[in-house]
Structure 1
Amino acid sequence: MNLVGREPLIINNTLQHKLTKDMSIIYEEKVGSYLGFPIILHDGTLFGTLCAIDTVPYSFDDEEIEIMKSLSRILTNYLNDNIGLVAFSKIEEERQLEKVEAIGKMASGLAHEIGNPMQSIKGFIQYVFKDSNHNKDFQRIVMNEITRVEELISEFVLATQPSSPVIQMNNAIDVILPSVERIKSEAYAKGISITCSLEDHLPIINVEASQIQKVIMNVLRNSLEAIEQEGSIRVVAYRDPFHFLVIEVSDNGRGIPAGIIKKVGYPFFTTKDYGTGLGLSVSKNIIRAHGGTLNIESVGNGTKVSIRLPIAIEK
């Protein structure tokens, strides 16, 4: 609804007001009344409008109008004081998106050009060793390395050109527990304990189970790598009041410095000597494609990753 102007606008009944009565969006979004104050920067630029909307016709009183006026003034002053930072952040964000878009175009081509030869090499190695009992260790190492290259290509494409998930109804516990079980042997080998605290009767979620399991395992592996000596990882899952499933993975590892935590999850950003910086980026894309969020907190000792996924509509 475009009601941006340079003067305050008060519409107590949008169904009767000449500016809004013929707007289809009024009926689609059920806007019954509107109160808006323009946000004008010190250079005269119209930044936008701070508005209040009710779903039914409503007469805004003087006190409410004065409150909105004060709020708009506070917001205007804040933007004027910080507009340089806002503009810089926007430019950096646009640069990041442009870089990812350019890499994405390159990624799809590389995936095809590298993927096909890899399949040929894989088939050739299997053929060469099919009748031989010798050098089985060599065959296993080569096949594992080829598989790893294929996984990296897949991650590269997912990080830059994420595909839509093929969702099905899944019990949350059937998605979470197998992911944890697959990582437990790696944790045990490092002397790290993993405990689960799952709420009773976890809900049904509409997800592509293999993708969500990939995310959970990636987060768990990051926790394993962050713990330098014996430590612990805790997995918690519950239904929040807003009809989301929340999965929290907490560790007592070295944590993430405050100066870089905002960059964690950007494609190709990593603090590891050997990492690609794609794991968390892919994970965020997967969760976003499912209508959820993935947030990272690191305060003092340890890190907590919170995954939120919408619960399936119960009929």
Structure 2
Amino acid sequence: MQQTSLHPMLNVAIKAARAAGAIINRASLDLEALRINTKSPNDFVTEVDHAAEGVIIETLLSAYPDHGILAEESGRTHGAKHSEFVWIIDPLDGTTNFIHGMPVYCVSIALAHRGVVQQAVVYDPTRDDLFYASKGRGAFLNDRRLRVSRRTRMSDALIGTGFPFRRGDNFKRYVKMFEEVMQQCAGLRRPGAAALDLCYVAAGYYDAFFETGLQPWDLAAGSLIVTEAGGLIGNFTGEADFLHQREVVAGNPKIYAQLVTTLAPYTRVIKEEDLAAPAEGSNGADAPKPAATPAPAKKRGPVRIKKDDAGDAPV
């Protein structure tokens, strides 16, 4: 199935993503010339991240000067501060892979209107693969309509994930989590670019994906692509409000429900009864905001961006 007409805002996002991809591809030809800075241990940023983000913001604001911007490297310093439209941008998801010449990284751009993601683009410049979606109009890879996989048994499922890498992460918790999931599924993969991982769920390459510690710009675009491909996405207890909980599960409906059952005991969502006693190994950087009572595992809802929660400074 081919989508013949794209939303004008989606077209602008695609133009911005391809411009950023061109910058990334040129830089990949001479990685030794890169200037690399460390935001925190094992968390890198390069001049390419900044250049790619710059061209994305310029392209978007040239077309829509009254829109807001939430970007990984520059936060909210660009665009209108109180617009109902906010672009959520990760100019280079997978920077560590990029630095090492491993061709698994992407550009991620989403547009939220009144907190609900409406347009999404994830561009893989090494393969010239363009994943995109408009709310209510389906998800696509280039011109091919995407659907999540049909596998129903965890024992047959290939699951994507992310490994801990930040100082202060609770590594023991991760090891227990991985041990449980590894014994239930057919295989676990960790390529290292969460926005692409979500697209792989939408395309059916993975049956599910889970990770903790992610930011809104890692998830916003991929989350819409997953749901438009018929998948589900939420936090470890199945709630739809996952963007600011720093934990996420996505998958086809059957595997998603089973994975939520496995991961629910590992949630870091703070319940009222837990406020007086933080979980062992928790730290400020990884602690989510209080959440309501968990909904059933299959609950679906619009992907929402909370302006006051997203923060003004990138991590």
TM-score, normalised by the number of residues in structure 2: 0.33
Query: Is the radius of gyration larger for structure 1 or structure 2?
Result: 1
> RCO greater where, 1 or 2, for CA within 8 Å and sep 6 or more?
2
Q: Could you say which structure has the higher helix fraction?
A: 1
